[in-house]
Amino acid sequence: MLRQSLQQKLLQKLSPQQILLMKLLQVPVNELEQRIKQEIEENPALEADNINRDGEIPPQKAEEGEEESENQENVEENHDDFDIEDYYKGEDEIPEYKLQTNNYSRDEERREIPFSTGISFHELLKQQLGVQHLDERKMRIGEYIIGNIDDSGYLQRSTDAIVDDLAFMHNFEVKKEEVEEVLSVIQQFDPPGVGARNLQECLLIQLNLKKKNENSEILDIAFKIIKRYFNEFTKKHYQKIMKRADITEEQLKAALEIILTLNPKPGNSLGETSRTNQYIIPDFTITNNNGELELTLNTWNTPELRVSHAYANMLQNLANGKKGKAEKEAFSFIKKKMDSAKWFIDAVKQRQNTLYITMKAIMDYQRDYFLTGDETKLRPMILKNIADIVGMDISTISRVANSKYVQTPFGTFLLKSFFSESMQKEDGEEVSTREVKTILKDLVAAEDKKKPLTDEQLMNELKEKGYPIARRTVAKYREQLGIPVARLRKELGI
């Protein structure tokens, strides 16, 4: 049976301005410029001023309250109440955070982040293939092989699979022997080791090239170790290698020194040239001025935004003129675009303000660390700690900390790396888990590499220093730091 009833509910709904601000908070400084350009292209009522570099701050709109514009459905009824000054009020008020940004005079030297260019890894291989004396058939095979080499320099397809690919996908029938012949040519290219199908083959290719230039007993032993005892080598079973290869510890150590000079990922040395434009631009800069920390918000690529005066004049004329159907539609369209531009400008300003006060709270909370750079001075800090200080929601702090970087006198760091859980020492003091990881890293660095410390021994060392953590926690921290187990950290000594 159908029934009709009335219900009264209290719901919380985000306004378009709040949604826009949340999206802008997540955008790092190197993507903000593109987001602004996109908005300018989509909204003709929004303009940017990139010329003002003489130190004068353009008029800024004062921070508004929570009042929102009228619903667009009723805009025609409110023509008489329209005031163009609503879009420009508060021009004389300059927000405090704008006084702390970087402004440049005409005589001041501008230092931009340089771009570097270079040839990509695969382009280099194709160039080397082009100078080989190969017929068109083998050249085509070589191009396909190079296309299947990953950024590390390894061939990701077997020769059988390449034969099938060329036959079924390119209608080009070749024999396995032809593919292996062309592959052997590519494996002589720079960087040494390229075109290998696994790590063992990669090391053997590099050792073969060394043997062509220099013939020595130690090179022969190194080649023999990789060729016959590769499994024992990866597991550092040195006693087995010495026994089976019938060599002394001195010979093994000399051979290992040669092997350790080889590049396990030959493509990486040149593959970086294809990613030269992927650099980090810090969102914040912290400097130590005689014991006083100074915070600067990076706004060097953020243009000054304003509402178009041409659109404002058009809107004012429409508001004061006749109110026909066409004029009402034009008025509604222009006002909608100007509202959108005003909201975007306010969101960008509020983003800068939110970023600054959040980073200022983090800087003050971790003051001892930013003064010294000593990671053991990092205090336990979670999102709630900063949210309580600045009076914002935890989700807002999370958006600020995500993918943002801060430049300090000790390096450039991801903002969220300063957040860590706490643990309690034996004396009851709460310390950051990052402090424990730093001490663990120092213990491993100072250990005797002939007899590396096991996880249990590391646990005991930490307990002696007042950090009572379990062995499995030590193993977890060790893995997070990228430290291998004790057996793989073992080194030979003479």
Q: What are 239-292's pLDDT values in tens digits?
A: 888 888 888 888 888 888 888 888 888 877 654 444 444 577 888 899 988 888
pLDDT in tens, the chain (494 residues): 677 878 777 766 666 667 777 777 777 777 787 888 888 888 888 887 653 333 333 443 333 333 334 444 444 444 445 555 555 554 444 444 444 444 444 444 444 444 445 577 888 888 888 888 888 888 888 888 888 888 888 888 888 888 888 888 888 888 889 888 988 998 888 888 888 889 899 999 999 888 888 878 888 888 888 988 888 888 888 888 888 888 888 888 888 888 888 888 887 765 444 444 457 788 889 998 888 888 988 876 677 788 877 877 777 777 776 667 777 777 778 788 888 888 888 888 888 888 899 999 999 998 988 888 887 788 888 888 898 998 988 888 888 888 888 889 888 888 888 887 766 666 666 677 777 888 888 888 888 887 888 888 888 888 888 888 888 888 888 888 888 888 777 776 54
Q: Which of 462, 453, 461 is nearest to 485 (CA)?
A: 453
Give domain 423-489's CATH superfamily: Homeodomain-like (1.10.10.60)
Q: Specify the pLDDT at position 360.
A: 92
Dig out the tokens for 169 from the structure.
Answer: 């996908």
Work out whether strand 284-289 and strand 405-408 pair parallel, antiparallel, or are unpaired.
Answer: parallel
What DSSP designation does 272 have?
Answer: G
pLDDT, the chain, mean: 77
pLDDT at 111: 46
Write down the pLDDT at residue 87.
55
What would the pLDDT profile of 405-424 be if each residue is shown by its tens digit? 888 988 888 888 888 776 66
Domain with CATH 1.10.10.60 in the chain: 423-489
- pTM for this predicted structure: 0.52
Contact 313, 397 (CB under 8 A): no
Q: Would you say 46 and 344 are in contact if contact means Cβ atoms under 8 Å apart?
A: yes
Q: Would you state the pLDDT for residue 426? A: 66
Q: Are 195 and 209 in contact (CB under 8 A)?
A: no
The torsion region of residue 403 among left (phi > 0), alpha (psi -120 to 50) and beta comes to left
CA–CA separation, 392 vs 4, rounded Å? 41
CB 302 within 8 A of CB 31: no
What pLDDT does residue 361 have? 92
Residue 67 is predicted with a pLDDT of 39
Whole-angstrom distance, CA of residue 370 vs CA of residue 485: 32
Encoded tokens for 334: 């222009």
The pLDDT assigned to 13 comes to 62
